Structure 1
Amino acid sequence: MKPQFLGEAVNGTVREAYVEASSFLEACEVQDARIVCELLLQHVLGVSRSEMLFMWSEKFPAARATSWREGIQRKAEGEPVQYIIGETDFYGITLGVGPGVLIPRPETELLVEHMMHEAVRLFGQGAELTLADVGTGSGAIPVTIARHCPAWRVYASDLSPQALEIARKNAARCGVHEQITFFEGDLLRPFIEGRIAVDVLVSNPPYIPAREIPSLQPEVRLFEPHLALVGGEDGLEPYRRLCEQLPELPKMPTLVGFEVGMGQAEDVAALLRACGNYEVHFVKDLAGIDRHVIGVQI
């Protein structure tokens, strides 16, 4: 059990409260404790980073002391800071997140960027396309693409009603709710049953093998939804099922993009080639890992 954060420095200045809390989180072995502490402080005070620094020598607001202590304690116990503050940044926008959805990762920003680039290369700038995002979670992918591609008709599906509620709120928050249609359902089933012809298909499905869950970082293993993490015994089950379902769509998507786990790219590429006439290439993440499998119909 983690020690209790007393937060006695809230009787002093904002800086003193920050120093006490960041030292406490470091003692609790929280990664990037000072950065996390800054984010929590900005959230509790309701200010930007520059505004927070201007308040550095001011007395800590007594009305915010309880929220401050609670936030620091939750972080010390391993909860992701994004869940505590209720939001995260993704590709230049701010999205709401909560325990019902996976926290969007920087790797997925690369997938979004590459899919938009490939679509322009294949169809031309300003083309009116139909996009389907499968397993949308927080809605990070469809919301971002809808903002950057206003001519596209965007659909998104998820098996979790809780995730869809968050995704719909993010679409409204970012002003693209009229451009996106959300479906509750398993993988491609809503698109098959709705006879929706898709030009661009993208998915960041669960891909962690079940046996690896115990070895994940505690803040992932204990707080993020396993429905969005576990991809069966070998992590490839969602891709198998997606590739089995693809031929049931009214037409095969011209462009397909999957995010995959480390070491899975070749296996997923083989599944995609087997289900359709796709030329496949990989996109590496910032660590040099083949993170995205991109298929173009030839």
Structure 2
Amino acid sequence: MRFNKLDLNLLVALDALLAERNISRAGQRLHLSQPAMSNALARLRDYFGDELLAVQGRQMVLTPRALGLIEPVREVLARIDSTITTPPVFDPASATRTFVLLLSDFTTAVFVPPLLEALYREARGIGIELRALNDKPGEQLDQGDADLLVIPAQFAAPGHPSQPLFEEEYLCVTWNGNSRIRTQLTFEDYVECGHVVANYATGQQRAAFDGWFLERFGIKRRVEVSAPSMTALAQMVIGTDRIATMHRRLALQAEKVLPIRLWPPPLEVPTLVQTLQWHRHRDADPALQWLRELALRVGRAI
């Protein structure tokens, strides 16, 4: 199909090229050979009268014309997906479809199990693909690489709808053999002990907490261990006098199997609000509407 002499099939190729900025990776994304992808790029260059991707050193960079096409092309493809390819009705009992969710290991541990249980009861043909948050979750949502994004409210992608999913508080965790903290955890203990923290994919959440702590109290926590997982923090204080500040649900899970003690934070830590977010052009997708409603119901119950 052509529109204004442009083969509309080339829009998909253009979107992949603009996202990957590499002919081979764009081809892999669309399951096309490199020669086929090179041919698509040649036709696009001819249509737009622009190189689109230009060689610079050992890599390819987007021309100014290509940079200006990123958002319009994504918008067009997202609208096509939401208005033409989406079925008008959705029957969860008979549907066979896979949804992609972007989320942290914390959300995976506390939210996903009851979600999967509910899906098994109500829609056994529905599959779920879980993907870890990368350093640009908003771009993953923009590019259509995910159906739903679960992320703290302050880091939600701008321009897309969202709803609160559930709230979480924090507890402090120490080894039950901690030589300093025996009967209570004081603010002095909290400041003077070393800390084990999560090094999130985006790097923003840790920075947000430490920035808030510094702004509130004028001092920095002494971070001695940084880990890429929230669920592992409790294990990392064992055998030491360190402290981990953890999500309450994770801390309670860890307490059942580890030699640790839980303490209320000796300071008022802001409540975490986890939000459910989706692409604005998928707002009317009946299947995604159904999944959102199920997710919100599960979030209220955990």
TM-score by length of 1: 0.26
Structure having greater relative contact order (Cα 8 Å, sep ≥ 6): 2
Higher strand share goes to which structure? 2
TM-score by length of 2: 0.26
Larger radius of gyration: 2
